[in-house]
A and B are shown apart, each in its own frame.
Chain A
């Protein structure tokens, strides 16, 4: 790994007040004829967080909460509407030159959700895995490159002989291993993983999660892990951010978040997980659905579903403020009128 002058524990990526708007208006002519206005969907609404080198930060939330959009913004697949992304001390928005951008890009890679859609079916595995190496000009075609591809494939638990095959010859789990090998091929420091296991069966998911942890240890990788599965998140991450309608409502280290969930939404999510242990814990009643993001509620966006909502929640947007080792965006917690209840105790979990 190249020396970037940064050590373990220092901030690798910092995201500040990130905003992404999508224009979902009808075409211009329709707007003129029907007299309708432009419609803007704010998918990410002022998200800030930092990831330290070597740690795993997870973002969880339900469909449409903007977690994948954050992942794509960081990877440069979307341009942010506002806010900044600082990677390794450099603001990505200020990079003008293509060559400088390319060097930056080499340092982070992405793993996608669907291993069937993210691999080109007409390419052999060796071309797929070697593509980042060649496009970043890290090596020339030839013997050493073949050797490197073989190494990468063994790293992710495949055989170096698999390089001759096409993606359709592999199962879902093996394909996800190929995408991980491809992501690792440019020696990145940072991986953005967008639901890497949600298309996989549980036993395969366990294999992939173990592999990702092993690789993190061996290569000193930093992960941003996007998932809707709280159990997976609690297993893999050091810190967890909970998103709701484009905002982070709570962020804390994993133990704190699960032992003492603060935000009513976090509690609701936790109690909604089907409980394999059948411990008979009381469930927070789950009511309602995620509102239409085109027309989000005013104030705290969770207020229509929140059992503790008061007038203030309907008017004033709560800022994300520190609270006893966590950060939470809830008026009630900070003003003390939402009772703090313990979450899931590890002792309750099955042996």
Chain B
């Protein structure tokens, strides 16, 4: 199966007065049609920047400094803004964390939906309105024909997020970038939104790149997971594997530090220290100062993604008997979809 989205060696830099900060460094992954790829990591790991780079919404001084992003085989990272605008919304939809700021408070949700539909699909006003009502019904808003003329403030947080999802779905995009779509919501509402996203993904064959820091949400929703640390993907693999059989020491630590209901532990396993700042990323493996299994090579040489069980992990522990530098071929499509 050919990939819907291919990201290859993506590098995002921020030029600041104090030098260039590398926010995303050599990130590669694929998303297959209809697949949900979860991207997890702590604040500052570069998850959201990866998402914004893909939809071409990086704000200055951020810029894509290297690598390629391909959508259905066509490069989209070097398109002029006008053309990118046509792709955004039509082919790639976006859902952001805070549903209140993604909606314009001065217009009814109907106006906003109809505008978005007509921008991407030539359609008469009446048809667009019909489609908007359909969409609202699809995302589970009761009495959509009445609610369509309401303003965002008349909706609760969960309902607003549903409206934002309806907006993202307007033009039937093949890929949705969902950046922390449930973080601002209560658990019971969060469960509703996850169920909704899963159903839509199944029914319409939409692929989702789900960016979140909540492992529980990933476990329930994603097919595959990419774990990010300090701007790099440190592990990528099928969701069950990454959660139950983590291969990178960082993933192991991250999974261990999540408290679970009913678990009786006096102390939670913790990773000492905190993530390095972008201007002070250590040489070699960025995780080496905090890693419980660090050895000499980690401090000098940066590991690429290496096959590790059914996943890929950027860790020298998985080097074929600590092979000579550069020997293992690190990236291949076959391994990613294993």
Cβ < 8 Å to B, chain A residues 62-113: 62-63
Q: Which of A117-125, A129-137, A230-238, A331-339 contacts B (4 or more CB under 8 A)?
A: A230-238
Do residues A286 and B216 form an inter-chain contact, with CB atoms below 8 A?
Answer: no
The answer to the question of B121 belonging to the interface, with a C-beta cut-off of 8 Å to chain A, is: no
Shortest A172–chain B CB gap in Å is 7
Do residues A277 and B186 form an inter-chain contact, with CB atoms below 8 A?
Answer: no
Do residues B261 and A273 form an inter-chain contact, with CB atoms below 8 A?
Answer: yes
Q: Which of B9-17, B89-97, B190-198, B318-326 contacts A (4 or more CB under 8 A)?
A: B190-198
Shortest B154–chain A CB gap in Å is 12
Partner of B263, one of A174, A204, A210, A235: A235
Rounded to whole angstroms, the CA-CA distance of A192 and B214 in the bound complex is: 26
The answer to the question of A50 belonging to the interface, with a C-beta cut-off of 8 Å to chain B, is: no
Do residues B187 and A269 form an inter-chain contact, with CB atoms below 8 A?
Answer: yes
Total residues of chain A contacting the partner, CB 8 A: 46
Partner of A213, one of B186, B216, B266, B274: B266
Indicate whether A231 sits within 8 Å of B191 (C-beta atoms), given known contacts A201-B43, A210-B267: no
Do residues A274 and B188 form an inter-chain contact, with CB atoms below 8 A?
Answer: no
Do residues B270 and A203 form an inter-chain contact, with CB atoms below 8 A?
Answer: yes
Shortest B270–chain A CB gap in Å is 4
The answer to the question of A316 belonging to the interface, with a C-beta cut-off of 8 Å to chain B, is: no
The answer to the question of A52 belonging to the interface, with a C-beta cut-off of 8 Å to chain B, is: no
Do residues A274 and B267 form an inter-chain contact, with CB atoms below 8 A?
Answer: no
Do residues B187 and A273 form an inter-chain contact, with CB atoms below 8 A?
Answer: yes
The answer to the question of B258 belonging to the interface, with a C-beta cut-off of 8 Å to chain A, is: yes
Do residues A276 and B270 form an inter-chain contact, with CB atoms below 8 A?
Answer: no
**Which one of B159, B192, B259 has the highest number of Cβ atoms from chain A below 10 Å of its Cβ?**
B259
The answer to the question of A190 belonging to the interface, with a C-beta cut-off of 8 Å to chain B, is: no
Contact flags A200-234 to B (C-beta < 8 A → 1, else 0): 01111111011001000000000000001011101
Contacts of A63 on B, CB cut-off 8 Å? 186
The answer to the question of B213 belonging to the interface, with a C-beta cut-off of 8 Å to chain A, is: yes
Contacts of B188 on A, CB cut-off 8 Å? 62, 268-269, 272, 286, 289
Do residues B213 and A202 form an inter-chain contact, with CB atoms below 8 A?
Answer: yes
**Which one of A201, A290, A345 has the highest number of Cβ atoms from chain B below 10 Å of its Cβ?**
A201
The answer to the question of B65 belonging to the interface, with a C-beta cut-off of 8 Å to chain A, is: no
Indicate whether A206 sits within 8 Å of B260 (C-beta atoms), given known contacts A228-B187, A235-B265, A269-B188: no
Do residues B262 and A232 form an inter-chain contact, with CB atoms below 8 A?
Answer: no
Partner of B259, one of A201, A232, A269: A232
Partner of A350, one of B158, B260, B271: B260
Contacts of A271 on B, CB cut-off 8 Å? 191
Contacts of B267 on A, CB cut-off 8 Å? 210, 213
Shortest A49–chain B CB gap in Å is 21
The answer to the question of A4 belonging to the interface, with a C-beta cut-off of 8 Å to chain B, is: no
Shortest B321–chain A CB gap in Å is 29
The answer to the question of B204 belonging to the interface, with a C-beta cut-off of 8 Å to chain A, is: no
Indicate whether A272 sits within 8 Å of B257 (C-beta atoms), given known contacts A203-B271, A213-B267: no
Partner of B270, one of A62, A174, A210, A268: A210
Q: List the interface of chain A (C-beta within 8 A of B).
A: 62-63, 171-174, 201-207, 209-210, 213, 228, 230-232, 234-235, 258-259, 268-278, 283, 286, 289-290, 343-346, 348-350
